[in-house]
Amino acid sequence: ATRPLPLLFLNLGGEMLYILDQRLRAQSIPGEKARKDEWTDVDRKRVMNDIITTMFNKKFMEELFKPQELYSKKALRTVYDRLAHASIMRLNQASMDKLYDLMTMAFKYQVLLCPRPKDILLVTFNHLDAIKDFVRDSPGILNQVDETFRQLIEMYGCLSAGEFQLIRQTLLIFFQDMHIRVSIFLKDKVQNSNGRFVLPISGPVPWGTEVPGLIRMFNHNGDEVKRTQFTTDGNYIIPQREGSFELYGDRVLKLGTNMYSVSRPVETHMSGSSKNLAPHAKENIAPNPHAKEELNFLARLLGGLEIKKPGGSETGFQLNLFTTDEEEEQAALTRPEELSYKVVNIEATQEPGRQAELARILEELEVAEPRPASSDKGEDLLALMDGL
Amino acid sequence: QATWCVLPSRVLLVLTSQKGIQMYESDGSVMVYWHALDIAEHPPAQAVFARGIAAAGGRFICVGTSSGLVLVFDIPHKGTNVTVSEVLEEHHDAITDIAAELGQAPDGAGDLVTADDAGTLCVWSSGEEFTLLNKIPAFGCTCSSVKLWNGIVAAGYGNGQIRLYEAATGVLRAEVSAHARWIYALDLAPLTGKLLSGAEDSFVHVWKLSRNPDTDDVEIEHCHAECVTDTQICGARFCDPEGCSFAVTGYDLSEIFRYSQ
């Protein structure tokens, strides 16, 4: 379909930044009181700046906007993994898993509830508006984001409703069968306890749609000759105004704005409803026919991410997406197999040239940290990906 | 997409995808024909797919494409010698749906309707050479699905509206504010004129189409509504030609729901 990837990437990235910002605020200590290994406000701003700078760098954006397919969730996750580590922050596997779960469920919700297919662009603009606010003190990065904004307007501004619906359908297929329960969604009654989202049958109709109920009939001259009404359980109203698709403006739509705050922490439930996952669980084991294309895609995107390595004396700061370290350990141990983001068997790719190139890129991106496993670097590509 | 194409001599199962069009014997045992989509016909970086399938004129199967072209396949009584008999070039936007006359067409009403992303509808008369009878201009919204019955075109739109047009003249005969979201599916029960509509607003509606014998005016009345809670309807079909029961599918739903009177 006409380029769903930039929209997918930017919106998921936006959600990631909301979550990281919230967790960093929750874990931060006032500057004077902080120990050497504790977060401060200054650290938080630095992390946000570093990640946003990396996300919006020109080379990376160029790769992103090229015409290409949507790849698997696992392939995409590798890019976010790298992005999350673009600064002094470090995340354990369990926290990274949780982060990705939250990001994907949030965007799935936003895509599903878009009133019009075109509103997916407003959701994207909401995320970009918020990202611009995160870096409002840094004109250089602000320019990069504006540049991407303009590219989006140019690429998507003139698409028809049908083309947007095709993009939306492609995204929905990408998110199909994901039913991870998110605490903040459950509390707000936006998600049911079975993991499915609530679709309201009340509220404003989309811009350009009429409130259902009226039937008008015309004769062969075009004169209205009869008018009737029908009723349903729905309770709809007319919307007040349309959101803006300009660089600056009131988007009106709330989907895509930041729903987290320090007082509303986020937890996910690895639900025991694994029988719902059964039909797709087995897919993880079969060799991926698109493995080769996926590796090419990853090599290009990761190659475009210019990561600044932290200075020699700096060590990484650990960020925990759970409330305690024990919770994080527990989450890692109890994560159901079907929901694992481990990279699948890539035996399908026997091309040594491509393997070597990706290995080289991944090596460059390695952080100077003792690695838990003692596997040989540069040999097993699968192990390299796992070690990220 | 997948559709049964019922012709006097045989029934074929036709599938469309991003690669092309496949036709199978009705039991799925043998692939009768494979048509690959010509990438060159499409502007670069645009989606390529086939969409919209209908059997027409007792002899043809028509399939739409993302470039707006409609391929007309001539189907032999048996065997695999399927040929492209014509390519219809009226639409400039991706085809969304194609419908053949399900009842009795009045004179001059044609027997095929094609719809596209822009909302344009074309009414055709099938034959060795298809003739364009009417082009109904778009009003600014995608026509997502279309049905043709007794010379009445029933069209469902992305803004939730259902419109009825006179196939012979292209005149608008009814306008229904039917749904609060994108209409995904329309179906029609030819023995009674019942119309089924399913949309992303979670609702399925049953309507009744008829013609006033005195005035010849087209009438539509609302019969029934069902709300499939928390589900965006993706497919809706009557299970019998009277329209006494229907089946519904939705996004993220692994079940098919069946409703009957």
Contact residues on chain B for A67, CB-CB shorter than 8 A? 44-45
Q: Please give the biggest Cα pair distance in chain B.
A: 54
What local confidence, expressed as pLDDT, does residue A272 receive? 36
Please state the rounded mean pLDDT for residues B128-149: 96
Calculate mean pLDDT across residues A281-290: 49
Tell whether B5 is covered by a domain: no
Buried b (16+ CB within 10 A) or exposed e, A104-118: bbbbbbbbbbbbbbb
Residue A280 reports pLDDT greater than 70: no
Q: Distance (Å) from the C-alpha of residue B35 to the closest C-alpha of chain A?
A: 20
Cβ-defined contact of A212 to B215 (cutoff 8 Å): no
- Of the ranges A153-167, A236-250, B38-52, B243-257, which one carries the lowest mean pLDDT score? B38-52
Is the CB of A162 less than 8 angstroms away from the CB of B201?
no
Of B177, B223, B232, B249, which to mutate for an interface test with A (greatest number of A Cβ within 10 Å)? B177
Judge whether B185 and B196 are in contact, CB under 8 Å: yes
How confident is the model at residue A307, as a pLDDT? 59
CATH code of residue B154: 2.130.10.10
Length of chain B, in residues = 261
On whether any CB of chain A is under 8 Å from the CB of B17, the answer is no
Flag whether residue A210 sits within 8 Å of chain B, measured between CB atoms. Answer: yes
Percent of chain A with pLDDT over 90: 46
**pLDDT surpassing 50 at residue A29:** yes
Q: Which residues of A touch B232 (CB under 8 A)?
A: 112, 199
The mean pLDDT value for B139-159 works out to 97
Nearest CB to B159; choose among A177, A208, A220: A208
pLDDT score recorded for residue B204? 98
Instruction: Decide if B59 contacts B9 (C-beta within 8 A).
Output: no
| Strand-pair partners of B198 | B185, B204
With a cut of 90, say whether residue B23 has pLDDT above it: yes
Report the candidate in A264, A241, A265, A266 with the shortest Cα–Cα distance to residue A251. A241
Within B26-160, strands assigned E span 31-36, 50-56, 60-65, 70-74, 83-88, 95-100, 112-116, 121-125, 131-136, 143-149, 152-157
Question: Is A51 exposed, middle or buried (CB count within 10 Å of its CB: 0-12, 13-18, 19+)?
Answer: buried
Asked whether the beta carbons of A205 and A238 are under 8 A apart, the reply is yes
What's the whole-number mean pLDDT along residues A230-235? Answer: 93
pLDDT at B193 over 90: yes
Instruction: Please check the confidence at residue B212 and state whether its pLDDT lies above 70.
Output: yes
Contact criterion met (CB < 8 Å) for A216 and B252: no
Residue A30 above 90 pLDDT?
A: no
Residues 126-165 of A with CB under 8 A from B: 160-163, 165
Assigned domain for B188 exists: yes
DSSP A342: P
Residue with the larger pLDDT of the pair A289 and B189: B189
Q: What mean pLDDT is reported for chain A?
A: 79
Taking residues A74-102, what's their average pLDDT? 88
Q: What is the 8-class DSSP label of residue A365? A: T
The verdict on residue B48 lying in a domain is no
Determine what percent of chain A is predicted with pLDDT higher than 70.
Answer: 71
* B241: pLDDT strictly greater than 70: yes
Question: Which of A115-129, A273-287, B100-114, B130-144 shows the lowest per-residue confidence on average (mean pLDDT)?
Answer: A273-287
Q: Is A251 exposed, middle or buried (0-12, 13-18, 19+ CB in 10 A)?
A: buried
Judge if ipTM > 0.85: yes
Cβ pair B251:A112 closer than 8 A: yes
- Is A338's pLDDT higher than 80? no
Structure tokens at A280: 């797709």
pLDDT at residue A382 is higher than 70: no
- Does residue B32 fall inside a structural domain? no
Query: Taking a contact as any Cβ pair under 8 Å apart, which residues of chain A between 64 and 83 contact chain B?
Result: 67
Contact A76, A8 (CB under 8 A): yes
> Which residue from B145, B152, B211 is spatially nearest to B178, judged by alpha carbons?
B145
Q: Is A227 on the interface with B (CB under 8 A)?
A: no
DSSP B2: E
Q: Which residues of A touch B43 (CB under 8 A)?
A: none
- Please tell me the predicted confidence (pLDDT) of residue A333: 79
Give the other-Cβ count within 10 Å of A344's Cβ: 20
Tell whether the model's pLDDT for residue A110 goes beyond 70.
yes
Q: Which has the closest alpha carbon to A388: A81, A77, A87, A13?
A: A81
| Domain span at B251 | 90-260
Indicate whether A273 pLDDT > 50.
no
| CB < 8 Å to B204, chain A | none
Amino acid making up residue B97: D
Q: Residue B220, exposed/middle/buried by CB under 10 A (0-12, 13-18, 19+)?
A: buried
Per-residue model confidence (pLDDT) at position A23: 86
pLDDT bin (cut points 50, 70, 90) of residue A313 is very low
* pLDDT tens-digit map of A33-75: 666 666 788 888 889 999 999 999 888 898 889 888 787 888 8
* B31 within a domain of the structure (yes/no): no
Residues B247 and B256 sit within 8 Å (Cβ to Cβ): yes
Average pLDDT over residues B238-255: 96
Residue A388 has a pLDDT of: 38
How is residue A185 annotated by DSSP?
Answer: H
Position A228 pLDDT exceeds 90: yes
Q: Give the model's pLDDT for residue B28.
A: 83
Among A48-62, B50-64, B245-259, whose mean pLDDT is lowest?
A48-62
Instruction: State the nearest Cα–Cα gap between A192 and chain B, in angstroms.
Output: 9
Q: In chain A, what are the domain boundaries?
A: 4-198+245-261+294-353
Q: How far apart are CA B63 and CA B2, in angstroms?
A: 11
**pLDDT value at residue A71:** 75
**What is the number of domains present in chain B?**
1
**Which tokens in the block code for residue A66?**
């090229």
> Residues 6 or more apart from A79 whose CB is under 8 A from it?
A9, A298, A301, A302, A305
Q: Which of A87-91, A130-134, A245-249, A328-332 has the least mean pLDDT?
A: A328-332
Residues A137-175 pLDDT 10s: 999 999 999 999 999 999 999 999 999 999 999 999 999
How many residues are recorded in chain A?
A: 388
Please list every residue in chain B whose beta carbon sits closer than 8 Å to the beta carbon of residue A277.
none
Q: What is the mean pLDDT of chain B?
A: 94
Edge-first strand order for the sheet with B121-125 is B95-100, B112-116, B121-125, B131-136
